[in-house]
Structure 1
Amino acid sequence: MVGGGANPQPGEISLAHNGLLFLDELPEFNRGVLEVLRQPLEDRHISISRAKYSLDYPASFMLVASMNPCPCGYYNHPTRTCVCNPGQVQRYLNRISGPLLDRIDIQIEIVPVPFEKMAEENRAENSASIRGRVIEARKIQAQRFAAHPGIYCNAQMEAGLLHQYARPDEQGLDLLRAAMTRLNLSARAYDRILKVARTIADLDHSEHIRSTHLAEAISYRNLDREGWAG
């Protein structure tokens, strides 16, 4: 994952630079390996230090991960009963640390789709139109950060740019304050919510972040919800 070796080679983290790194069954990875992801997710590069050398590899990638909610896979299932006890569920989820979860902008719980929904003739928005909306939002972000070298999208914003481009109105601040208190969110989660809300506003062609954009961004942090793990 990290890279290195006697003859230094980049690992999967660096090979995914400017691309996507997909980790299936996230809790099954060694916890030490997962913790290595924290630095590159934050700094967009990874430093490798060995006895004879020290290297710095680029690592600006999009992390996508999937996992079951518990060892048997049926926790919170609408029709099937989970056979795990609460301790097993908690230990399974604890394989992923809070600091790593904080660095994942969007956390969505996917529920099974019933046959009736799959058999519906009404089709959802097609991929071509979604792609068009994403391209438009990216153009908005490119124009926004044209005067900021090295910044190309909302995900790369730091505190100063967040204050400049992603500050919500008073109603939005009240909503965010309530969510921070109720979910006991960290300062890092606060920043991530603002970045996602800014992107939602861009997709909505809105110059300002409205409370609806913030509410949607907050709803995408499923693993921060109290009681998610029983």
Structure 2
Amino acid sequence: MMEAYEDGELEDKLFAYEERFSQNDNAGDLDAESQISFAEGSDDSNVLISAPHTTTLIRENETREAEVYTGSLALLIQAFTGAHVIYNVHEGEDHNYIVGGDYKEKIGDIIKDHNIEIVIDLHGADQRRDFALDIGSNEGETVSDEQLDKLIYILESQGIHDVYENETFSASGEGTITRHTWEHYDTEAMQLEIHRDYRNPRGDLESYAQMLKSLVFFVENAAE
């Protein structure tokens, strides 16, 4: 993967992926028939990557900013690992806030059809936060300690520290994808809040690549 980064191929891929979300002032593809898209991965993958905030979204009649580059990150993880990916296509309801909804129903179908063992829900934290990554698991309920320890070890091995668990974003709300996945589909899930510094390839491509490489390694080992 780092060879692709050095050759400039990583930049080309990620900006091409992100363009579908950044169009129309980050509202996404407003002509798409559905707000939700599923990109099927390889037959032997049992990991699902979720990116519900790729575009601007509506929560309680207010427009909220897109969590930029979470979409490209999800699709690049798929490119390197063959994981399955579900993501938001254009501005609409907040899939990680409302109780129930089409996005979560689709996750249930994917889990059943592809024997998914873990759902990794990607989000973006803003510049104010003092962590590199905050892992939300509803206070440890939705994912095993083994998975948490594995992810933290991989991140630290890639030079990413200041990794917290349930510090600010615990995925405890009833409408969160992580809690819903565990409670309704009996499938492990975690919400990953990634600091802006690690998802800003135009400002710091190396940090973006560090986070991408960490998540690729984790996905390759998550369902072993």
Same fold (TM over 0.5): no
Question: What TM bracket, shorter-length normalisation?
Answer: under 0.3
Specify which structure has the higher proportion of strand.
2
Higher helix content, 1 or 2? 1
Taking CA–CA contacts closer than 8 Å with sequence separation of 6 or more, which of the two structures ends up with the larger relative contact order?
2
Give the alignment's TM-score, normalised by structure 2.
0.27
Task: Give the TM-score of the pair, scaled to structure 1.
Answer: 0.27
